[in-house]
């Protein structure tokens, strides 16, 4: 549940190009959860998704997959699907 709230807030921050909200979200995660490595990696990834910045989204996905996300098949599947589909659609 917390992961979904974090990722959806990051998407909103990206859609509005609201970097201050992203930074505030990261700070809240860092101070509110015991195991923050995964949760701190997700906001940046989803921020780029919300912003429709597919190049940085792909780079963040790769970095996430090489580190804390290596065992997170759900996020990797989701981001892979987005990267395969959404950049091809001109109007979103």
Instruction: Show the CA angle centred on residue 75, arms to residues 36 and 2, nearest 5°.
Output: 45
The Cβ of residue 46 has, within 10 Å, a number of other Cβ atoms equal to 25
Give how many domains the chain has, as a whole number.
Answer: 1
Q: List pLDDT tens digits, range 18-63.
A: 999 999 999 999 999 887 888 888 999 999 999 989 889 989 989 9
In this prediction the pTM is: 0.84
Which residues constitute the domain of residue 68?
Answer: 2-88
């Amino acid at each position: 549940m917390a992961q979904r709230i974090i990722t959806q807030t990051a998407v909103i921050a990206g859609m509005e190009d609201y970097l201050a909200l992203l930074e505030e979200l990261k700070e809240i995660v860092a101070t509110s959860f015991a195991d923050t490595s995964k949760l701190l990696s997700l906001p940046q990834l989803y921020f780029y998704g919300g912003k429709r910045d597919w190049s940085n989204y792909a780079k963040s996905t790769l970095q996430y997959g090489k580190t804390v996300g290596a065992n997170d098949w759900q996020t990797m599947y989701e981001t892979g699907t987005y990267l395969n589909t959404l950049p091809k659609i001109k109007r979103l």
